[in-house]
Amino acid sequence: MFRRVNFYSICFAFGLSVLLILAGSRYTDNTNYRPISESRRNIKNFFKVDDGEDTESQPVPTNSYDGTPNIEKILEKTRAKIQFELWNYNFTYSGVKKLDDLIIETGGRPLRSIIISSWRSGSTFLGEVINAIPGTYYHYEPFLNYGIIQIRGSPLAETVLNSIKDMLKCNFEEMDDFLDYGRGHNHQFSHNTRLWDHCKYKKELCFDSDFMSKFCKLFPFQSMKVVRLRLRLVQELLEDKELNAKVVFLIRDPRGVLQSRLHRDFCHPSPDCSNPELLCADMISDYVAASRLLKLYPDKLMVLRYEDLALNLNSTTHKLLKFLRLSHMQAVDEYLNSHTNTEVSGVSSTFRVSREVPFRWKNILDFEYADQIQMACKEAMNLWGYRMAHNATHMTSKEFDPLETYTITQ
Ligand SMILES: *[C@@H]1O[C@H](CO)[C@@H](O)[C@H](O)[C@H]1NC(C)=O
Ligand SMILES: *[C@@H]1O[C@H](CO)[C@@H](O)[C@H](O)[C@H]1NC(C)=O
Ligand SMILES: *[C@@H]1O[C@H](CO)[C@@H](O)[C@H](O)[C@H]1NC(C)=O
């Protein structure tokens, strides 16, 4: 009897201390915890089609870190936080039994996803939607240091594909170029909010391959976005059974893309970014690749048009998460709400904003330039289901719907 009472009191004390540790990791240390709902942004950022070349909207540290970070303590708190945030996650939905099965540190295999896109096509927004899911480690644009180029084949393709595999497996040991680039470019790390929560107070953490590898290995969901790699080359990643990555390919109307790129200083000097012929040759090559890869790996590739995502934000996001086998929807709903429910000058609802943003080019783009794009992009637009505008009046009219249905013939 006495023994039993003792046993229960030990259990009680143990339970209480676990609760206290969790609560402590959650609330007492604001360097380590930031609720998702707090990261509301200004409406200007909604549906931004950023690509990582902008540094204006980067989070700025609000208070400085006044001590040497204890790496073991950071790792310990991060483990506890991930467990806490995913305590009621349905792991069956993700094809495993328990959290540890998805964590590299404990011998598991994470769910990995890669967004493949191009500059100004909505990939920053999509990346943030996925990053809203607790337990996500977001490998944001790992090839910023390559400059404004497209990678279409050898010799860069091999290097880049190996780096992607290393990063998705959290091996940062041989990633010196990547880590060094981050020294002068915070935005390489700051989109990875869970990592930046620590690096913003102590930048050196993010240049430390040992810390980076250990920290990354705690996360059950590994996501990445890349705007510099064409889809054809992704086959090698889909083939990799050990990696077991899923790919989301995101494409956008070349008129919207180029209109948006017009105002970006980084873009103009680079033909890969500013030349309609090159953009649309890539779009054709991506279409052919999508068609082949969908046949080979129907459950590993999802193809999305930015415009369809914007017009059907909720249902497309649900479809996307289902494809990625991610079941935690609440955080994503919160993210979408905080980015779509803001009133704009009290007149237009965000519903309108989100639906109109992808088509803003219709009223801004000079028809002569639009037509020049259309001439260069006839085939690409036809394949991806983008309609031609006949003249300036037609282009700006309400009747002109740039979208038609498209199919990827397999
Ligand atoms: C978890 O997901 C599986 C597979 O989708 C489903 O069959 C099961 O009902 C879910 N369990 C709960 C508690 O929601
Ligand atoms: C979003 O889509 C899901 C699934 O398609 C649906 O269950 C849910 O009710 C939708 N939410 C809103 C706010 O429309
Ligand atoms: C512009 O195109 C529309 C649709 O094809 C056509 O009906 C209209 O006559 C054209 N306007 C001019 C000025 O060419």
Q: Report the separation in Å between the CA atom of 270 and the middle of ligand 2, taken as the mean of its atom positions.
A: 41
The residues spanned by each domain of the chain are 85-361
Q: Which two tokens stand for residue 240?
A: 């990799």
pTM: 0.84
Q: What is the mean pLDDT of residues 10-25?
A: 43
Inter-CA distances, 40 with 49, 126, 194, 337, 354, Å: 17, 16, 16, 10, 16
Ligand nearest to the CA of 392: 3
Q: What is the mean pLDDT of residues 119-146?
A: 95
pLDDT tens digit sequence for 337-368: 887 754 443 333 444 457 778 999 999 999 99
Q: What is the pLDDT of residue 339?
A: 77
Most informative mutation of 92, 322, 328 for ligand 1 (most atoms within 8 A of CB): 92
Please state the separation of Cα 172 from the chain's center in Å. 19
DSSP conformational letter for 404: -
- CB neighbours of 258 closer than 8 A, spacing ≥ 6? 274, 276, 279, 369, 373
Q: Which two tokens stand for residue 262?
A: 């017009």
Q: Is the pLDDT of residue 134 over 60?
A: yes
Q: What mean pLDDT is reported for the chain?
A: 85
140: β partners: 225
Q: What is the pLDDT of residue 44?
A: 37
Confidence of residue 387 (pLDDT cuts 50, 70, 90): very high
Q: What is the pLDDT of residue 67?
A: 56
Find the range with the poorest average confidence among 9-23, 148-162, 253-267, 304-318: 9-23
Ligand nearest to the CA of 313: 2
Q: What is the pLDDT of residue 144?
A: 95
Contact 342, 43 (CB under 8 A): yes
* Residue 49 burial (10 A CB sphere; 0-12, 13-18, 19+): buried
Q: How far apart are the first and last CA of the chain?
A: 71
Ligand nearest to the CA of 389: 3
Q: Which two tokens stand for residue 223?
A: 């996501």
In CATH, the number for domain 85-361 is: 3.40.50
pLDDT tens digit sequence for 24-80: 443 333 333 333 333 333 333 445 444 445 443 444 443 344 456 799 999 999 999
Phi, psi of 108 (to 5 degrees): -90, 180
How far apart, in whole angstroms, are the C-alpha atoms of residue 342 and residue 349? 7
Inter-CA distances, 157 with 161, 236, 269, Å: 6, 10, 22
CB count in 10 Å sphere of residue 149: 13
Q: Is the pLDDT of residue 219 over 80?
A: yes
Q: What is the mean pLDDT of residues 120-130?
A: 93
Q: What is the pLDDT of residue 335?
A: 86
Q: What is the pLDDT of residue 15?
A: 45
* Residue 60 burial (10 A CB sphere; 0-12, 13-18, 19+): exposed
* Full DSSP string of 31-66: TT---GGG----GGGTT----S---TT----SS---
pLDDT tens digit sequence for 288-316: 999 999 999 999 999 999 999 999 998 99
The residue that leads in pLDDT, 248 or 352, is 248
Percent of the chain with pLDDT over 90: 73
Q: Report the separation in Å between the CA atom of 394 and the middle of ligand 3, taken as the mean of its atom positions.
A: 6
Please state the separation of Cα 283 from the chain's center in Å. 20
Q: Report the separation in Å between the CA atom of 395 and the middle of ligand 3, taken as the mean of its atom positions.
A: 10
Q: Report the separation in Å between the CA atom of 386 and the middle of ligand 3, taken as the mean of its atom positions.
A: 18
Residues in the chain, overall count: 410
